[in-house]
Structure 1
Amino acid sequence: MHYPRAVQPPIYRFRNLRLEPAKRELWRDGVRVPLPTKSFDCLTYLIEHRDRAVGRDELIAAVWGRTEVSDKVLGQTLLRARRAIGDASAGHTAIRTLPRFGYHWEEAVEVDTPAVTPATAAAVAPPAMRRGMPKKWLAIAAAVLVVLAGAAVLLAGRTPAPAPAPVQATADRHVVLVLPVAGPHTPDDTWIRLGAMDYLAAQLRGVRGLQVLPSEQAVALYGRDAAADPLGENDLYRLEQVTGAAYILAPRATRTGGTWNVTLDVYHDRGTRALEAQAPASLDAIAQVADRFAASVGLEMPARRGLPATPSEYLQRIDAAVLAGDMPLARSLADAAPAELKSEPAYLVRAGRIAYRSGDVDRAERILRPLASADAAPAQDIRAQAMLVLGSTSVYRQDYDAAERYYTGTIALLDKAGAPAALGRAYLERGIVYGVTRRVDAAMADFGRARVELERAGDRLGTANLDVAIGLVEVFRSRLVEAVAAYDRAIATFTRFDVNDNLVIALTGKSSAQRKLLDLEGALATTDRQMAIAEHLQNPMLMRHVLTERVPALIDAGRFGAADALIDRYLPATASAADDPVFAVLRARLRTVQGRPQDALRDADAVLDSIEREPTPGGQTYLSAAIDTYVDAALRAGRPDEATRFLERLRASRDLPQDDDRPFVLEFGTARVQAARGDPAAAAGFRGALALANGMAPQKVVAVAVAHAGYLLARDDLHDAPTLLGHLVPYVGRDYEATQTAARLYTALGDRDLAERAAAGLRRLAGERTP
């Protein structure tokens, strides 16, 4: 049976409990049980791997994405999980500790697998990750825009506040981090934890002289679920070091009868003070403590404008769901909004963003286009946020001219509005569009402006996304070392903030650059880390994205069995290859290097037909990579006429400006066909292909040098052997084919010592190949 492209994780039932990984929810007898993020993740991982014992280090790597987690932290995390499921009660020992090893889930579990529908598929996959088969760097660019759109939903439609004046010196401002609201909330009030936190942050952003850090950073650092313990001294120190905040605000809220009591613990300069307020509405009490905090630091809160308390509360409920990553809840809240709220621009801009994140691009555009019109004359901040999302929908549709217009309009509106976080994102997203359309200088200029604005906003996650975008453009410029450095900067930040979805995207970019550099050991190590994180995230589309990088790394390393197993995960041998062209092409490449090129060619035309039917140009750019694979298979099978037919098909296809590989594939493929036919013109063809490869990546340089050397050795022509060795020697000991070909050339030139030295490393590089 073909493995579907979008799959809902299963639901697990045991005793009177239900665990839903897709929604990140634990229920007992129909009542939701609050559980901290890491405790939920540990519980889920142990249940998923209940067929075996899980080692301590494996559990830590899977949940935290790193290994430096203390036994105390792990023990406390598991204790909260045990308490949540009643494991501490008499007769229940679902999570058993295995001394000096790890843990094992002991209790029987029933598994429900939800059916895949268009709606559930859309919920699992963001739009730019769901359609088509774009080239790797273009796919990551789209993913970056999806991530930014998700974060920026919280910048849109909030209660407007006068913009603070630009701050020129750090000494003139107070950096503030607002944490999630603690307190025992009923199921109807759980939104307060993140919604009221975000409302408090939004109120303080209107204060001249305060720099309030993005709410997304607070969620990333402190978790989405209810905090079990107050902040300790170590917690405060870590938050100060990671964020640079001078003030850390920890709100607490309780309700007594019809009154909300809010206490704001203010941590500053190793001291603590508490501010209190009471009001019938929770957000009114939050607004009061915001006023009192501003006054306590000698600053003035501007006049408050916006919607009354009740509609404001509803909007914050929506924002809380988005912050928590619960898009199904956000959609349901938006759909169920009161009729009088649905005409408000503050509501509409949220509804449009949620539609986009849910994969309904048509609906997002219907909602947001009227808000982006100058004739509609909504508030400038609403119009700017609508245009920012419409830029992202245009990128999704690969209408880059429209995307550029929307982003440029957004920048014009925000440039003097004192909104550095949104302005930084607009510059970043327009820079990605410039990169996609090959205007590299303009892209790098926008990235520079984006960094200034994001740093002004204290948006460290935004600057990490910027580094991912820079890595993409550096790959496009074939500056692969610089690309790896940019990805490493992003990886360090995402790791520090424990933002694993973004981390996987950055690791994907890095591993791709490492493979192009022929740093195969590095690429395997990077994809090892990707796999450990992505398996835990339970996002099938993200895992699929990871495997399209992991599988080539395994093939390059000669680990064919492992590569075959991963391909079979998405394209079982019994499925039609046309069902999933990406993995069909990967399998064809694997069969070719395994010495089974006839098997690789079996479904070639059906796969190529499927790629050419792809409605978006981004998918059609994959045709060159596929043709390259099938030309290689045809030539290794001794069928040059079939290789020629594939090349003619590429020449006759639509010529797309985003398809960087097309000229190289045609030049290199033609030279190989000429060599197979004994045509002397092959030598000039290889030289032409090498000239193109020199402007691309070492991976392509080595491919041409290996093929050219094979042609020369077959003709006993060593005239160009020294030149080819010059291209191969830097990769001897790193790449199997470069090492093997260098050894053959040294032997032909009569240099046995150098030949033996080159061949000595072959066995280490061979994997399942025979040296």
Structure 2
Amino acid sequence: MHYRFGPFELRVPERELLRDGRPLAIEPKVLDLLAYMVEHRDRALGRDELISAVWGRSDVADGTLAQAVLRLRKTLATADGLRNPVRTVPRHGYRWVAPTESVAVEGGSEAEAERSHADPGVPTLAGSPAIPSSPQVPRRRAFAGMLALLVALAAIVLIGLFRLRDASIPPPQAGPAEADVRLAILPLVSAQAADELEDAGMIELLRRHLVARAGAPEVLSTATVVSFLKANRGKPPGQWADALQALRVSHVLEVDLAHDASGYRLEGNLVAANARSAIGQVRAANLEEALERFTNDVLGKLDAAAPVAVDSAIHGGDRLADALRLASRGRTRDAYEVLRVAHADAPTQIDLLVELAHLECALEMTAACDRHLDEALSSPGLGAWSRASVHLDRASRRLAELRLDQAREEIEAAAQAAQATSDNLLEARIVLARQHLAAVADEGDTALDLARRALTLFRVAADRGGQAAAQIALGDLAAQDGHHDEALADYREAYALFDSEGDQAGVARAGARMARALGHLGRFGEAGKVAHAAQAAASRQQDPLVLRDALDSLAWSLLQSGRLGEAREAAHAGLALLDPANNPRQALRLQSLLGFIDAAGGRYRNAMQAWERALQAMPDSAPGVGADSLRLAIVYAALNAGELERAGTEAARLRADAGRSADADVASFAEHAEALLAARRGEHAAAARLYARVWKRARDTGTLNQQLLADYSDVLFELGELDAVESLLGESDLPETEGHLVQLVRARYLLRRDRLDEAQAAFDSALRLAAERYSPLLDTSRAELARARSQGNGTPGQAGKDKSRR
């Protein structure tokens, strides 16, 4: 039997889950759980029944089932229009409630469909009899480490996000709880607590779980609650009634969280106007599971719907939560519009201002971003966590502008602010910011250590998005060192993490880098497919940086396959989205790329002009970013354009850079330029010695490429060293074995071995691979082949053979 719900199709006999016809990765037990629930969707299923049916035994903990349900919800959470299909039935289990069509496939017969409908649910809280008051649960003080853990897990979302409504995005029809409930979360006896940060972390953790649910009640922002606690410090809870009434809340959720050797304990009371209902004690080995189960119990009492995580679930109550949902789907511009209106309605709400500035930074609205960040820092109500986040946003802007000293100052200011929070996740973000700074400053070893440390911290905090960002940082460092296989593995891991979170902007970022790594490995066909997919994913987002990065990758891929016109269009499209002052490093890349496209088409003077513009735009604060590779490219172009003096000038600059730098790459660029000049002067033996050193260094660093092969082979052909050319062609570390320059070198080699037909086949292959590209080596090879045919297969090869035997 097959089942269809929303965009999904469940094929039980084949053990497959498809979305829009494409298979989805899903764990076997989660698939078994899905199948059993769908097949028994006519009733609620108890936890014991589900455990027995899926795991085949009764000694499985309830937490294992809860985690499987959570993973199932996350797997199905990306579907537009599909409200959460798994409803929690409090104190019993779960029920499949999505409209589902069952399709008989036996014998290829015509499909027979039936529709199932969601059950009407349990009676609403308002319609239930009053529950007798229960004694208040005494609060147990968490030990010192609890503060760090609570705030760490709360760090992704800014504490104190204010709830507002925007008529421009109408909410869907409200359920009973949505319409009637305005909830405040208070720690038990929290007015007597010594440290509000502990309370704030607990409140924010629960608030995040609650507002993520479709049909969830309105929940007061954490900032509002913390302000309430400060104002009522020292008063017994019995005197809070008037203050709570001023907040216009209908319910108060009193919560106690404690931790011991066996795990976490959550319990509390749900207090309405005339009743106090105890929330049963929840125990779990990890905090996430405890919060999930506790939230289910609370929502069960409030008769709220089950969770949902779809783009269409904009229920209008928590404007910041709405914006975060939009931003997590790559809809950065839409998220900004939501917060812009909210901020206009509440201009003094500090945490709204912080998040608005963050989105403005992401959209490169630099003037507004800087103004609002400055405004936030000047506010006396800015908490330590938010202050650190503001400094990190400022550091990110300064890094993009390559203003490294200012970026370093902002990162240190963030670290100082973070000391008051004991927040592991915030620490991870600061470490990653330091890593980015070290990478831009070309401090490779430091950058690598920081990337590894950031990855560990993000794993401890269970932040998949942070893990993915750290994996990309590791991949970038590996790629810089020429270890493209290692880089590709890091990028694939980042891609999987972003995909598991439904972060399509992150998927596009990782995909763009995967395409570059594949290109460096000579897997041009795969690179092209991945680059097109990344560009398609990025084009559906509203993040200009992500889209430019994808266009950059696509342009490189098109250049590698010889489609110069399309490559030029992609590069120009990226530049059109860019203000060079905001991101000079990306401007440098795209401007340089246009130069390489021109050079590949034989337009050498145009290429030199593009590279010169890129060098002039490079900030003084980061003079080493790509400069030496561009100077080597100018040497190439100048020699091909006949501008020998210009080639000599750039080679001299490279020698000077090599003398000032301990970077082995700079020394290789300088020696490569000297070898090119020596070959042009006819000093082939000297050029060969230089190329031998450059080749060895490139092999050691994993940066061998077909251009170096062509240059080195050219002087070896002049020297008649065919055995040496054969050795180069057999180099196992050369990635681009199917590149057009490799085929041209092979053609020239075979010709000198008197294998004319094979040489012609290699030349024809090179011509196909070159597509729109032009290389002087094409003309050289064509002329050598024509001469060999006119002379009867003798002359070119004989000279080479005689020389190689001496």
* TM-score strictly above 0.5: yes
What is the CA–CA distance in structure 1 between the aligned matches of 2:591 and 2:373, rounded to whole Å?
Answer: 39
Q: CA deviation at 1:693?
A: 2.6
Q: CA deviation at 1:513?
A: 2.0
What is the CA–CA distance in structure 2 between the aligned matches of 1:469 and 1:214, rounded to whole Å?
Answer: 32
What is the CA–CA distance in structure 1 between the aligned matches of 2:587 and 2:467, rounded to whole Å?
Answer: 35
- Structure 2 partner of 1:288: 253
Q: 1:552 to 1:317 in 2, by over 3 A?
A: closer
Q: CA deviation at 1:292?
A: 4.7
What is the CA–CA distance in structure 1 between the aligned matches of 2:436 and 2:595, rounded to whole Å?
Answer: 32
Match of 1:454, SS state, is helix
Match of 2:540 among 527, 532, 536: 536
Which amino acid in 2 is paired with 1:689?
V
Match of 1:537, SS state, is coil
What is the CA–CA distance in structure 2 between the aligned matches of 1:451 and 1:214, rounded to whole Å?
Answer: 27
Q: 1:191 to 1:410 in 2, by over 3 A?
A: farther
Query: How does the TM-score come out when normalised to structure 1?
Result: 0.56
Match of 1:672 among 665, 673, 676: 676
Q: CA deviation at 1:466?
A: 1.7
Q: CA deviation at 1:606?
A: 6.6
C-alpha deviations, 1:177-205, integer Å up to 9, x for none? 99x999x9965875999xx9xx9999899
- Structure 1 partner of 2:529: 525
Q: Is the 8 A contact 1:315 1:347 kept in 2?
A: no
Q: CA deviation at 1:484?
A: 0.8
Q: 1:467 to 1:602 in 2, by over 3 A?
A: closer
Matches within 5 A, 1:338-487: 338=346, 341=348, 346=351, 349-350=354-355, 353-354=358-359, 356-359=361-364, 379-404=383-408, 406-408=410-412, 410-411=414-415, 414=418, 417-487=421-491
Which deviates more from structure 2 when the two are superposed, residues 200-209 or residues 725-734?
200-209
- Structure 2 partner of 1:641: 645
What is the CA–CA distance in structure 1 between the aligned matches of 2:173 and 2:246, rounded to whole Å?
Answer: 11
Q: Is the 8 A contact 2:547 2:574 kept in 1?
A: no
Q: 1:702 to 1:399 in 2, by over 3 A?
A: same
What is the CA–CA distance in structure 1 between the aligned matches of 2:450 and 2:627, rounded to whole Å?
Answer: 31
Mind listing any 5+ residue stretches in structure 1 that lack a counterpart? 1-37, 40-63, 81-161, 223-248, 256-278, 302-313, 573-577
Q: 1:387 to 1:540 in 2, by over 3 A?
A: closer
Which deviates more from structure 2 when the two are superposed, residues 364-373 or residues 425-434?
364-373
C-alpha deviations, 1:133-167, integer Å up to 9, x for none? xxxxxxxxxxxxxxxxxxxxxxxxxxxxx998657
Mind listing any 5+ residue stretches in structure 2 that lack a counterpart? 1-5, 8-18, 26-75, 84-140, 188-197, 220-243, 256-267, 271-277, 284-289, 292-315, 327-331, 577-583, 783-806
Q: Does 1:547 align with 2:551?
A: yes
- Structure 2 partner of 1:252: 216
Match of 1:604 among 592, 604, 608: 608
Q: CA deviation at 1:490?
A: 1.0
**Which has the larger Rg?**
2
What is the CA–CA distance in structure 2 between the aligned matches of 1:364 and 1:658, rounded to whole Å?
Answer: 38
Q: Is the 8 A contact 1:514 1:523 kept in 2?
A: yes
Q: CA deviation at 1:212?
A: 4.8
% of aligned pairs identical? 20
Match of 2:540, SS state, is helix
Q: Does 1:329 align with 2:337?
A: yes
Q: CA deviation at 1:436?
A: 2.9
Match of 1:721, SS state, is helix
- Structure 2 partner of 1:593: 600
What is the CA–CA distance in structure 2 between the aligned matches of 1:568 and 1:370, rounded to whole Å?
Answer: 36
Query: How does the TM-score come out when normalised to structure 2?
Result: 0.54
Q: 1:509 to 1:69 in 2, by over 3 A?
A: closer
Q: Does 1:682 align with 2:695?
A: no
Q: CA deviation at 1:554?
A: 1.9
Q: Does 1:694 align with 2:659?
A: no
Q: Is the 8 A contact 1:181 1:192 kept in 2?
A: no
Q: CA deviation at 1:452?
A: 3.7
Q: Is the 8 A contact 2:478 2:484 kept in 1?
A: yes
Q: CA deviation at 1:485?
A: 0.7
- Structure 1 partner of 2:728: 724
What is the CA–CA distance in structure 1 between the aligned matches of 2:382 and 2:162, rounded to whole Å?
Answer: 32
Matches within 5 A, 1:702-741: 702-718=706-722, 720-727=724-731, 730-731=734-735, 733-741=737-745
Matched residue pairs, number? 541
What is the CA–CA distance in structure 2 between the aligned matches of 1:377 and 1:519, rounded to whole Å?
Answer: 54
What is the CA–CA distance in structure 2 between the aligned matches of 1:724 and 1:660, rounded to whole Å?
Answer: 22
What is the CA–CA distance in structure 2 between the aligned matches of 1:296 and 1:494, rounded to whole Å?
Answer: 36
Bigger relative contact order, structure 1 or 2, given CA contacts below 8 A and separation 6+?
1
- Structure 2 partner of 1:119: none
Q: CA RMSD in A?
A: 5.7
Q: CA deviation at 1:534?
A: 2.4
- Structure 1 partner of 2:72: none
Q: CA deviation at 1:632?
A: 2.5
Which amino acid in 2 is paired with 1:544?
R
C-alpha deviations, 1:269-310, integer Å up to 9, x for none? xxxxxxxxxx98999458638765894344899xxxxxxxxx
Match of 1:288, SS state, is strand
Q: CA deviation at 1:359?
A: 3.5
What is the CA–CA distance in structure 1 between the aligned matches of 2:430 and 2:376, rounded to whole Å?
Answer: 17
What is the CA–CA distance in structure 2 between the aligned matches of 1:174 and 1:465, rounded to whole Å?
Answer: 18
